[in-house]
Amino acid sequence: MNSETTEGSAPREYKVFKKAEDYLGVIFFVVAYLLMYCLIFAESINVADPSAFGLSKAFAYSLFVWVLIMLSIIYAAARVWR
């Protein structure tokens, strides 16, 4: 890419976020993380009682949020980081 700016145009500046999808990718990722943090420490969720597949409620919940985190990364890789 040509590093020189043409006469009269503004010099290029570095922007951390360049397009709307950048924000969406970040929001998706942060929400998934907050979900893990906010709820795993909740007394009603952080219990050993059986839930899906015999896993404890805490384990099953963390697996579910982990899937969300993975989906957010796949989304970011497919749409945001192109």
Residues of the shown chain interacting with another protein in the complex, contacts defined by CB under 8 A: 1, 3, 11-14, 16, 29, 33, 36-37, 40-41, 46-48, 50, 53-56, 58-59, 62-63, 65-66, 69-70, 73-74, 76-77, 81-82
The smaller minimum CB distance to another protein, of residues 2 and 20, is found at 2
Write phi, then psi, for 7 (nearest 5 degrees): -60, 130
Looking at this protein, which amino acid is placed at residue 3? S
Q: How far apart are CA 46 and CA 28, in angstroms?
A: 24
Rounded least distance, CB 60 to another protein, Å? 10
User: Could you tell me if 63 and 45 are in contact, meaning their C-beta atoms sit under 8 angstroms apart?
Assistant: no
Alpha helices in the chain (DSSP H): 20-40, 57-75
The smaller minimum CB distance to another protein, of residues 31 and 77, is found at 77
The smaller minimum CB distance to another protein, of residues 20 and 63, is found at 63
Rounded least distance, CB 58 to another protein, Å? 5
Q: How far apart are CA 51 and CA 39, in angstroms?
A: 16
